[in-house]
Each structure stands twice: as C-alpha cells, then as structure tokens.
Chains A and B, each alone.
Chain A
C-alpha cells in the first residue's frame, strides 16, 4: 500500500475544504474520504487506489436515520448498512431497501460499509482490480480486455466500446426504485442529485463514475414518503446462496388496485453499468392487469436494449425471469 496522510477533519466544512484541493473526485483521486473502508482499503491494497490523503469522516455527525417533515426518510452518509437494514422505519416502509442491504456482502461487512460508501462502490470487474491488466476505467486509454476476455459477470445494459463493468451495488438498485435523492455538500454549494443522475454511463470516460467533483461530500440521502399500498420486493440471483454479487437482481414497488397495476417502480442490478432503472418496464405495467403475461412483457421491455458479451448472454434471460418472479412475489405478497 502506498503511503498516505491520515486526517480527521473536525467538521464537514473542513472535510470539504481539504478535499476540494484534489485534482479529481473520480478514479485516481489524490484525496479520498474514508468511512467503512471496505471498498477503498481493498483497492488500496491492490494499488488500484493510491490516494495521498485519507480524510476520516467516521466521527462527523452524519450517522443518523430520521423522519423528514414530508413523511420521508433522511439517512446519514455514515449510517452502516446493517443499521439501515434493521431500522424499524426502513423495515416497515422501505422493505425493498432492507432486503437489498441484507442480500449484500456479509454481516461483518454490513457492520462497516456505509450509505455513502455504497453509493460509490466500485466494480468487481477482474481487469479493473488487476493492475497488471489494461483497463479504461483504471487507466483511461489503456483498453478493455473484458470485452474479448472473461466477461461472464459483466454488464449487458449501458455498456460502451470502452467499458462493460457492472455496478455491483444492491443498495443502489433499491434506492433507484425508491427514487432516492443524494445530498452533497460541495466547495461552492450544497446540492441535491436524484439517484438517476448520480451515476454516469461509461461512454468514452469510464473513469468518471459519478457527477461528484473535488470536495463534494455526500452528507445524506433522502427517500420520498412511502406510497400507501405499495408492495416491495428485492430479488437477487447469484452463483451462491449468500455472500455473492448479483448476476441479476430486481427491486420492484408495485401498487395493485382491482387487479390492475396503478403504479410501478422497477430497477435492476447485476446487469447494468449503473444501477438500472427500467422506466419502459414500469410503463408496460401501469393500467394493465397484474398477471404473469404482463409481468413477462414488462421484463421484455426492461431488457430490450440489452447487448450480450461473449460469456454473458444468459444474463438477459436470467434478468427477465428475475424481474418476472419479483413482480409475481410482490403481487402475491
């Protein structure tokens, strides 16, 4: 691991001011905030991340879960995944989020990993993690060996000729379906970013994964008020029953009245280069009978633009079945 300076800013403003001196907040950042450390230290040991400064934000007052005035939920940046998953309000009103969090990682990692850290979780693409290999995400312009190489677990949605890395998060998939808003304190101003606008498609710049700029500190996430009568399910399919990343996952929230779907929010995991909201699937469901045929049509719509690589064509059908089954589970819950 490369040497670094370890600092503990006394408040968020100082953390932001120090981080604002960085050249980038993306891959290769020379200043990093550290909270749980479960992604960052892993990648620092691999020399994929080599920050010169670490800013420890664990002791900043960003660890609260609170109801908002409008009936929604405010989740602090350093709230641990296990605390969020087991919080009574989350289990009651945002079950899809609790289920997604508990489907991710291990009990130990969930005790460490934070809300903001999970929003910034890095891909598990083996070429990204191996500094002996080219990788456009890690070293822009060096190439993407995954496209012609080992790509069984990689993305089929949102890929480019430069990168096909999967976003590995479960939490972000639930938050995409819940239409979360990410609140950032920056060097110039504070701003709110909807989760759909937070992560970037790889395009020609896969090293840029989010809209964050130097100094930007995620302070909290807000969720809108829960929708009365909405059924929520997170379904994750993977090679092992536990402690494994998704090959395909689906977060669904549907409201059914008189046998018809009146409202639907759908996001997919394990198949996209970012947490994948599926508006076409949502549109295919609304005002239609909540039955197996329409659930399958929604799944077809969700995966219409999927582009397989040499080893991961199976993911397209797997994701369709995953979404169809998740909708069935929600409808009969």
Chain B
C-alpha cells in the first residue's frame, strides 16, 4: 500500500482531517498537489494532500479524508471498510464494483470519490440484512444465482437498478442489460432466473 494511501479504516484516530481552502483566480481547489494551503487539524501522521469529503453511504453521512486519486471503490472498501463491494478488473470491464450513486448503477472503480462529495451511495450492505434480505438477494439465494460469490454483490446491485430501468419483458433484454457484470463461474442462467423472478413478482 502506498505511504499516502487513505487512512487506516480500522483505526479512526489515524484519520487526518485537512482543510484545503486554497483557490485560484479561476476555480476552487478541491484537493491535490499541496501548495502550502493545506493544514492538518488532527493529530497523527499527516496524510499529505488528502481532502475532506462527505459521502452519504447507505443512509449515513460519512465524513472522510481521501487522497484525490482514491476511486469511489477504494474509498468504500478501504476508507469506509465496507468490503461487500468487490474489486475485479479495476477498469470498468467486469462490474464487480457496481454500486448505486443517487439511485443509478455505476462502476465505482472508474469514478473518483471526490466527484461524489455530498452524493448518495448505496452498496450491497445497504440493500438488506441477513435477517431481512432484499427481494433480489432472496431470489439469488432461491435461484442459486452464484457459485464462488465474488461477482454477486455487483450482480445484485446491477439487478436491483435494472428494475427501475427501461427493459423489455423477455430474458434477452435482461441479458443485454446485465452484460456489464461478468461471472467467471458462469451462473448466468440462474442470475437471469433470479432477476425475472423478482420482476414477475414485483
């Protein structure tokens, strides 16, 4: 891990909050390449160049300090320690990192955390609980929509978002709209069955 990686999620005292108040004639500096305007206001080692943001994750405001390079995915996993969201390819090709931003599904690996300051993020942890599964989670269990499970949180986040998107009734439309989520175990048939089960019982 880089020396300037985001603060250790297991030790909130190590979190360093910086005030970056610099500005140029043209734009507000949100963060990055520190030029003397950043000031550490908490004790602990300085996380150089980190920027304060607030993300509303699963209904709870999280005040965070992140390096500008931090993707939304790494922020969710490493800074907030919600590890249900998975990193597969890290290039927007596999869909394992799918989360909802303001209710829409996105690849969290291809977005910077800073771009989402103030926005509403939903991860797999925000959908349901083991005692009270979201209908899509229950359908994946009932239809055996996984094998190893690594892609499953991304599949389910995609599937839940699909329920609100324009999508024809047939399996072909579901397959087309789920093509951004790769399953190396090949559970596709059961994934489609799970999604169709929820759509038919909506």
Which A residues are within 8 Å of any B CB, using their own CB? 1, 3-10, 14-15, 17-18, 34, 36-38, 41-42, 45, 52-56, 58, 82, 86, 105-109, 111-112, 240-243
Q: How large is the interface on B (under 10, 10 to 19, 20 to 34, 35 or more residues)?
A: 35 or more
A4 contacts which chain B residues (CB < 8 A)?
32-33, 68-69
A106 to B161 CA separation, bound complex (whole angstroms): 13
Chain B 145-177 interface residues, beta-carbon cutoff 8 Å to A: 158, 161-162, 165-166, 175-177
Question: Interface 1/0s, chain B 22-47, versus A by CB < 8 A?
Answer: 00111111111100000000000000
B32 contacts which chain A residues (CB < 8 A)?
3-6, 53-54
B175 contacts which chain A residues (CB < 8 A)?
242
Question: What are 23 inter-chain pairs, A to B, with CB distance below 8 A?
Answer: A4-B33, A5-B31, A5-B33, A6-B29, A6-B112, A6-B114, A7-B26, A7-B28, A17-B25, A37-B111, A37-B115, A38-B92, A41-B110, A41-B111, A45-B90, A54-B112, A56-B115, A82-B104, A105-B180, A107-B178, A108-B98, A109-B107, A242-B179
B6 contacts which chain A residues (CB < 8 A)?
none
B24 contacts which chain A residues (CB < 8 A)?
7, 18
Which secondary structure characterizes the binding site on chain A? mixed
Q: Are B179 and A7 in contact (CB under 8 A)?
A: no
B92 contacts which chain A residues (CB < 8 A)?
38, 42, 108-109
Q: Are A108 and B95 in contact (CB under 8 A)?
A: yes
A82 contacts which chain B residues (CB < 8 A)?
104, 165
A5 to B90 CA separation, bound complex (whole angstroms): 22
B15 in the interface, Cβ–Cβ < 8 Å?
no
Closest to A7 in B: B27
Most buried by A among B30, B68, B110, B158: B110
A38 contacts which chain B residues (CB < 8 A)?
92, 107, 110
Q: Are B31 and A6 in contact (CB under 8 A)?
A: yes
Q: Are A7 and B95 in contact (CB under 8 A)?
A: no
Given contacts A6-B32, A37-B110, A41-B111, contact A107 B27 (CB under 8 A): no
B71 in the interface, Cβ–Cβ < 8 Å?
yes
B136 in the interface, Cβ–Cβ < 8 Å?
no
Closest to B154 in A: A108
A7 to B32 CA separation, bound complex (whole angstroms): 9
Chain B 1-60 interface residues, beta-carbon cutoff 8 Å to A: 24-33, 49, 51
Q: A5-B29, A53-B32 are in contact. List 17 more A-B contacts (CB 8 A).
A: A3-B69, A5-B32, A6-B29, A8-B30, A10-B27, A18-B27, A37-B112, A41-B110, A45-B90, A54-B112, A107-B177, A107-B179, A107-B180, A109-B107, A112-B106, A112-B107, A243-B179
Which B residues are within 8 Å of any A CB, using their own CB? 24-33, 49, 51, 68-69, 71, 90-92, 95, 98, 104-107, 110-112, 114-115, 158, 161-162, 165-166, 175-181
Question: Given A53, A58, A108, which contacts B107 in the complex, CB threshold below 8 Å?
Answer: A108
B178 contacts which chain A residues (CB < 8 A)?
107
| Shortest Cβ distance from residue A44 to the other chain B in the assembled complex, whole angstroms | 8
Closest to A39 in B: B110
Q: Which 6 residue pairs across A and B have the least CB separation, nearest first? A: A106-B180, A5-B32, A242-B179, A243-B179, A18-B26, A9-B27
A92 to B30 CA separation, bound complex (whole angstroms): 41
Closest to A42 in B: B91
A8 to B118 CA separation, bound complex (whole angstroms): 14
A3 contacts which chain B residues (CB < 8 A)?
32-33, 49, 68-69
A37 to B110 CA separation, bound complex (whole angstroms): 6
Closest to A40 in B: B110
A8 contacts which chain B residues (CB < 8 A)?
27-28, 30
Closest to A112 in B: B106
Closest to A1 in B: B69
| Shortest Cβ distance from residue A79 to the other chain B in the assembled complex, whole angstroms | 14
Most buried by B among A15, A107, A242: A107
Q: Are A109 and B68 in contact (CB under 8 A)?
A: no
Given contacts A106-B179, A109-B92, A242-B175, contact A52 B115 (CB under 8 A): no
A53 to B68 CA separation, bound complex (whole angstroms): 11
A15 to B31 CA separation, bound complex (whole angstroms): 16
A4 to B29 CA separation, bound complex (whole angstroms): 11
